[in-house]
Amino acid sequence: MKPAISVILLTTLIGTGQGLFLAFYSAEWFVLLGILRPPLNDYSGHAAALSVLLLALGLVASFFHLGHPERAWRAAAMWRSSWLSREVIALPAAMLLILGYVLLKLSAMDSIVLVLGESIPISISTVVGFGAVLAICALFVCTAMIYACLKFLRQWHSPLTVLNFLLMGCASGFTLASALASYSQDGRFAYFVGMAIFLTLAALIFRFATLLRNKGLRSPSSLQSAIGVHHPTIRQIAQGAMGGSFNTRAFIHSYGASVVRLARRGFLVLGFVIPLLLLQISDESSTLICSLAFALQYLGLLAERWYFFIEAEHPQNLYYQMIS
């Protein structure tokens, strides 16, 4: 498949935004449970606002993919059958819930609604935040299933796709949280960095496993089954269009093997290995190192998503092997 830039931006931006919210919301619970020390000044409202901003940027990027963005509202109609439609519902839902959380945190309206086990005070924002977590999980699944549900794109049609989207989104979100925590001199820094390292490592393992899996994949389709002529030697001599067609422009990329190889190595190194090393050597005062780790990881994940498209082989390409 040919990489679609707007889709690459959409999936990576919202992945980071979702991960960022999960980082701060989970830290909030650890504080409530008395496992982590509360930060001196609570900036989780601002962090969540950054998360909404990332989701909004992703949404804006996605509009560039549409031929008729003004009709985008129609895309919520077929949620019973289409994962894309489900994503179109889950994304604004997550944004609204996180926004509600932000408003509650930043205004004076937040108040305690119940006390769990006599010592854990639960405020409205915690309840709304929990709703946001559910929407975020749904969004991760919907986004990844858009790709994983297409059964003849064999490189995508695997539970690994869902796992990878989840792990990479969370990893980049926690890395960003580490940078924010070190900037705010937040005592929860160690938690964020520890989780960022764990998630980046897990994401690396599963992404690598996916590369190995895809290496051995053979499509059941061939030129023989595509045109139904069962002869071992078939050569296309005309594809019915001389100046190319939508089928050649939207599906067939012209990047050479060396560029593709560079992208593969690049995303493994930039997206996973270097951030792991940087996070490993960082401490509470190394805002710069954590920010660098996040910036490189995000670049790496852009390359990863680009490669994700290049990796997928569409059976329609069998019909478009030669222009003449």
Partner 1 sequence: MTQLALVIDLNTCVGCHACVTSCKEWNTSGQAGPMVDKNPYAAEPTGTFFNRVQSFEVGTFPNTQTVHFPKSCLHCEDPPCVPVCPTGASYKRPEDGIVLVDYDKCIGCEYCSWACPYGAREIDEQQKVMKKCTLCVDRLYDESLPEAERKPVCVLSCPTSARIYGDIHDPESEASKAISDAGGYQLMPEWGTAPANHYLPRRKVSIAIHEEDLQRVDNPLRKEDRGPRKPTTRTTLDDSTSW
The residues binding partner 1 (CB under 8 A) are 1, 65-69, 71-72, 74-78, 81-85, 88, 146, 149-153, 220-221, 223, 225-229, 231, 233-247, 250-251, 314-317, 319-320
Residues 5-8: contacts with CB within 8 Å, 24+ apart? 5/64, 6/61, 6/62, 6/63, 6/64, 6/65, 7/62, 7/65, 7/305, 7/309, 8/302, 8/305, 8/306, 8/309
Q: Are the C-beta atoms of 90 and 142 separated by less than 8 Å?
A: yes
- The 10 Å Cβ neighbour count of residue 249 is 9
Virtual CA dihedral for 307, 58, 54, 48, nearest 10 degrees? -120
Amino acid at site 242: M
* Dihedral pair phi/psi, residue 123, rounded to 5°: -100, 170
Smaller CB separation from partner 1, 216 or 228: 228
Residue 181 tokens read as 């925590």
- Alpha-carbon gap, residue 43 to 24, rounded angstroms: 9
Q: How far is the CB of 212 from partner 1 (least distance, A)?
A: 24
Q: How far is the CB of 154 from partner 1 (least distance, A)?
A: 11
Smaller CB separation from partner 1, 159 or 243: 243
Question: Concatenated DSSP letters for 50-90?
Answer: HHHHHHHHHHHHHHTT-S-GGGGGGGGTTTTT-HHHHHHHH
Smaller CB separation from partner 1, 111 or 224: 224
Listed residue (7, 14, 23, 107) closest to 52, CA to CA: 14
Smaller CB separation from partner 1, 73 or 215: 73
What lies within 8 Å, CB to CB, of 40 at 6+ separation is: 185, 186, 187
Q: How far is the CB of 75 from partner 1 (least distance, A)?
A: 4
Q: How far is the CB of 267 from partner 1 (least distance, A)?
A: 22
Smaller CB separation from partner 1, 158 or 239: 239
Smaller CB separation from partner 1, 45 or 315: 315
Smaller CB separation from partner 1, 65 or 265: 65
Positive or negative CA dihedral for 174, 175, 176, 181? Answer: positive
Smaller CB separation from partner 1, 62 or 178: 62
Q: How far is the CB of 152 from partner 1 (least distance, A)?
A: 5
